[in-house]
Amino acid sequence: MKFKAFFTEDGMNLLDKRFLPALEKLGRMCHVYLTPDHAMFLHGLVPSGGDGPQCVAQFGKDLLFRDYRISSQCDNRIAFAADSALLHRALRSALTVHLQSNSDPNALIQIKLVKKLPVGSRSPAPYLSFETKGIRSAVVQDVPISKPLSRADLVELQSALDAAQDLPQTLVQVPDLAQLQSLVDRLKNLGELLSVTVTQYGDLHLQVSNSLVTVGSELRKLRVLGLHAEPPVSDGNLTASTRTEMAVQSGEAFSVQVSMKHLGKSLHCHLAKPDSTFYGIAPGGACLTVIFQYFIPGTRLTDKSISFYCRLPVLDTGSS
C-alpha cells in the first residue's frame, strides 16, 4: 500500500483557507479517502449507521496534487481516519516553511503514507507525512492516522457514498448563509427539533415548536433547480404556515424534521466559502441535503473538480 504526491498551489490554499477549517468545525475526526482519480475528506460516513450529519468534500486529484501515485490491493484505493486539526496544523507548518523558501524553485510540499516506530513502541505505526523539500533543507511533519480500512470496510464506505448520490427533486438556493445562520441561532433556544419544508415554488420554511409557542420563518422566491411549480394565485393572501401546509398537501413540497444541532453544525460549512448553496429534501424524505457549488475562478461556470455536500438525518418525515 503506497501513496505519495506533491501539493499544487491551488490545493494547498483550498485546504488551508477553506476546507480544513470547515472540517474542523464539523468534528475532530475525519476520514481521508484516496482513489486513482479523487481525494476525499469524509465526516460521519464511517462507521455506517451513525446518527449525525454526513459531509463529503471531493476533489479531482489534479486540483490538489501533481505526481500523484497510489497503489493498494483494494483496487488502488486507500482510506484512513485522521484528526482534522492535526492535518490542518501540519499543512500550515509546511506552508510556513514553503513560503520562507519561495525563492527556491525546488521548494515543494510532498505528502505520503509512511510507517514509523513511535517512541516506546516495538511495532511501527502509520503516519501521513508532510515533507517540505528545498535545496538546503527538508522539514517533516508526521500526522498519526488509523490503520487503513480493510477491503470489506472500503466496500461499505463506497456503498455509503454511492447511496448518497440521489439528488433531491427540488433544490432551492439560499443566497445568504449568514442570514440563515442568524435565523437558526434565534430559533435554537426554542427547541431541539426543526421542521424544514422545501417547496417547488422556491420557498424554504423553518419552524420550531415547544409547549408554549410555535415560531417559524421563511425565505421566499428563491432560485429553484429541478422540479418547479408556479404558486397558486391566492398564495400571497395566506399565512406562511397555511401556504406551506397547502403546498405539502398538493404534492408540491416536502417537509421533514431535523435536529437543530445538526443543522447548526452543517452551517459551519460556510467556512469553505462556497459560491452557491442549495437545500433540498431527498426522495422519500430520506434526509435534508445541502449542496455547495463552486465556480471556476473568474467565471460563473461550475467547477466540476470540487464536490461538497452534507446530508442531515431526518428525525421525522412529514408529508409529500
Alpha-carbon torsion angle 266, 268, 269, 272, nearest 10:
180
Q: Could you give the 3-state DSSP secondary structure of residue 183?
A: helix
Q: Given this model, what pLDDT does residue 5 score?
A: 97
Q: Given this model, what pLDDT does residue 58 score?
A: 97
Q: Given this model, what pLDDT does residue 182 score?
A: 85
Q: Given this model, what pLDDT does residue 105 score?
A: 63
Q: Given this model, what pLDDT does residue 64 score?
A: 97
Give the pTM: 0.91
Yes or no: say if 158 and 33 are a contact pair by the CB < 8 Å rule: no
Q: Given this model, what pLDDT does residue 17 score?
A: 96
Helices (H) and strands (E) in the chain, counts: 8, 19
Q: Which amino acid is present at 316?
A: D
Continuous H helices in the chain: 9-14, 20-26, 61-64, 84-100, 151-163, 177-187, 240-249, 260-266
144-154 pLDDT tens trace: 999 999 999 99
Q: Given this model, what pLDDT does residue 288 score?
A: 96
Cis peptide before 53 (omega within 30 of 0): no
Q: Which residues of the chain have pLDDT under 50?
A: 319-320
| Nearest Cα to Cα of residue 288 among 268, 251, 262 | 262
Q: Given this model, what pLDDT does residue 181 score?
A: 85
